[in-house]
Structure 1
């Protein structure tokens, strides 16, 4: 991490770079363990995914998005690879047309489950204490 250090002088409009100076913008609270709070877990629903499909259907694009791409575009904070893995784990073809979700309620249900599983995997990783993550082995195929 690179930090540009600016020292504040008595004149609020005069800032200088300084070496060996104390920087008032940081204090020891930066290094205290964070208090854990309950996070809002986003639950994906069939209705929500159906609205994505309808929105995609209304757009005039040359190429229809895959289920994986549509999910990623609407939940971009989740990794595309993670979504793909969860879709495959739940028996959904990630490269199938997202328009298939419109007529297949079971596929819609499995897609929602896959997104929720992805969300849980991310939250589990975030909540894992430092030093306890040893790696992840996942069979994709």
Structure 2
């Protein structure tokens, strides 16, 4: 057996380094910023998955420390790609993903929209004429 598990683990880390170098060369050859961004995000995600895989394997006194070192190295690589992504999106603002508005902070409907909704409820017979008129006056006072 050639070097046991430790030797194989070191060899696999060498392969990870080679694949990272290949990925970096592919990113450098990207024709557009969008293509480079996609490649960087894929590499970041790949390294985060590797870190999680190494952390889940980090059991026992013999393999645990090596797996934790590998997890930290993968996390460092993921952070490196995230910094590259941040730098690229700072240079190219059009690449930034649109922020999703949290559900808690939905836009309040306008008074006109509320009046239309109230009228629809009245027409459907859901609210009485008295309720409709009372709420309509309240909404008009907000203008």
- TM-score tier (shorter): under 0.3
Of Structure 1 and Structure 2, the greater helix share is in 2
Relative contact order, higher structure (CA 8 A, sep 6+): 1
TM-score by length of 2: 0.24
